[in-house]
Chains A and B, each alone.
Chain A
């Protein structure tokens, strides 16, 4: 039985190790980010990473839904927005309202709405589910714009207070960075545990075949709803953190474009790869910045690249197509292939070196 424990445990153990190493890395970033020639690239790394962290919450959940359970959502910006508006409304209307509670309620409200929407919508499959979730995103956007009394309409909500938890103020990017990435890492830990569990197996099973999963006693409708709600909660928390980070929100932050960006992040990072969400978020948050920065430090690169925002969508669309065609498992899969390749190469090298040593003796 010992041999067996390993088969299953290695994957999980490996993921825990990666999570630990990644956490150490992520939490040191703010200390050395200022030292690298970031100014050349005209990037504020800490600022971008905080934004990436809020998006990561949504994308990690979306990867569970799309990558593992095989259910599409083209409307997750709705949940991100619902989380943001929930805490923004509560904390600006009532100055005494604890911001941390606003974030939790943001996740909760997004989850409840996710449940109300998910129960009917998840009966649909493929294109129909895609269209329905697309509609969800549009309706949410219209409500954010039209419920002026509550949301402030197109002007949005200003002066959202910074996060504070029991007197601990997260009023600078530097401080917020640690809080947000702690939340992201916690979500990663939850995801790893879920994927390697009874629930995770049920989700992967229904992804493969609804009929076969049901024949195994899995209530597919219930599990689809469950993971949809969880992904909505993650997105809602991400949105709430986003609101407290920018201190200002308006409907333009939660459009169809954001839903597509989330999906693109999942696909490019790696659908059904536990690290795919994170990789996709960081890649796509930094890509435009790097491209816009190119003209500043490489001569002869056309100035027009600084207007990347104008053709951002085209580039994302192209990336989506190219990845679907040539790298459907995403960057994260490529990375893990790369490291195992490097390991075997390095291993050979090490063997050769030690072999030579022995010859020398």
Chain B
């Protein structure tokens, strides 16, 4: 791996019983790029996210984040090291407001514990204020600052997706793993999302983007990796990938089923 790699995935294999959901997957994500990860349904994209974030342990291979190995670490440890994900099926916290959901995201860079919170020590109070301010700024960035007191799960579907994104951004990540962030968004919302992703890259954030909306992937990605049956079958610039016969076959093959 080279100096500029944010994330390096090396020979990762994940078995579910006899099924190899991932077969020796290797690629790296450069610092400050948006990398698209595409592939037909069941190709193993979500499984790769689960392995990267520590939900599953890989059967073989290693994962290096920012120069240090994260293979075998717990999900919360990996998140604290700067890699955070969103979910393909929305997982907002029930019974919490839009603002509170975002504030949970600030967990990684804050420290107040049971004592300082319970006794409302000055440090905890200051931190709480900082959390609230920063969360509100992020909600504004994603366009959700109008009703911060609303229950998160009461928002329309598209806004729930944006709230998940806001919650992830609140953790001040180095790299963001997005699992189909445009699923269920209308055209207008998808346009907003692509603007947001580009501006996040501008600010120096690295993004690994799983997405079925090819228009979006091809528009924002620096490079695209294609997964099929758990294997990397192609990689390159959006143009190269779109014209790769193997990729066309993988997608057409699925459609012909």
Measured CB to CB, the residues of A under 8 A from B are 1, 4-5, 7-8, 190, 193-194, 197-202, 204-205, 207-209, 211-220, 226, 230, 272
Q: Is B96 an interface residue (CB 8 A)?
A: yes
Give chain A residues whose Cβ lies under 8 Å from the Cβ of B27. none
Contact residue among B104, B105, B119, B133 (Cβ-Cβ distance under 8 Å from A193): B119
Residues of B near A199 (CB, < 8 A) are 112-114, 117-118
B114 and A204 within 8 A (CB): no
Query: Are B93 and A209 closer than 8 Å at their CB atoms?
Result: yes
Q: Do A197 and B128 have beta carbons less than 8 Å apart?
A: yes
Q: Which of B106, B108, B148 contacts A7 (CB 8 A)?
A: B148
B residues in contact (CB < 8 Å) with A: 53, 55, 74-77, 79-80, 84-85, 87, 91-97, 99-100, 103-108, 110, 112-114, 117-120, 124, 127-128, 131-133, 136, 148-149, 167, 171
> Do A208 and B99 touch across chains, with their CB atoms under 8 A apart?
no
Of B53, B110, B117, B118, which contacts A215 at CB under 8 A?
Answer: B53
Q: Within the complex, which residue of B75, B99, B110 is in contact with A4, where a contact is CB–CB below 8 Å? A: B99
Look across to chain B and name the residue whose beta carbon is closest to the beta carbon of A4.
Answer: B136
Known contacts A194-B114, A218-B76, A211 near B136 by CB under 8 Å: no
What residue of chain B has the Cβ atom nearest to residue A10's Cβ?
A: B149
Contact B127 A198 (CB under 8 A): yes
Q: Measured between alpha carbons, how far is A218 from B110 in the docked complex, in Å?
A: 11
User: In the complex the two chains form, is A8's CB within 8 Å of B110's CB?
Assistant: no
Chain B residues in 8 Å Cβ range of A194: 114, 117-118
A314 and B113 alpha carbons, distance in the complex (Å): 41
Contact A201-B104, Cβ < 8 Å, known A194-B114, A215-B87, A216-B167: yes
Which of A190, A197, A201, A217 interacts with B171 by CB under 8 Å?
Answer: A217
Whether B118 and A198, one on each chain, are in contact in the complex, defined by CB atoms closer than 8 angstroms, is no
**For A211, what are the chain B residues with a Cβ–Cβ distance below 8 Å?**
55, 75, 91
A-B contact pairs, 5 of them (CB 8 A): A197-B124, A198-B127, A212-B91, A216-B104, A272-B95
Complex Cα–Cα for A230 and B103 (A): 23
Q: Bound complex: CA of A200 vs CA of B104, how far in Å? A: 10
A215 with B75: CB separation less than 8 A = yes
Specify the chain B residue showing the minimal Cβ separation from A189: B118
Residues of B within 8 A of A204 (CB): 93, 95-96, 100
Of A4, A212, A216, the most chain B CB neighbours within 10 A belong to A216
Q: Determine the chain A residues whose CB is within 8 A of the CB of B131 once the complex forms.
A: 198
Q: Would A209 and B91 be within 8 Å (CB), given that A198-B107, A217-B108 are in contact?
A: yes
Shortest CB–CB separation between residue B102 and chain A, in angstroms? 10
Nearest A residue (CB) for B127: A198
Complex Cα distance, B133 from A217, in Å, reads 20
Whether the Cβ atoms of A216 and B148 lie closer than 8 Å is: no
CA distance A216 to B91 in the complex (A): 11
- In the complex, how many angstroms separate the beta carbon of B46 from the nearest chain A beta carbon? 13
How distant is the Cα of A112 from the Cα of B76 in the complex, in angstroms?
A: 25
Q: Do A5 and B127 have beta carbons less than 8 Å apart?
A: no
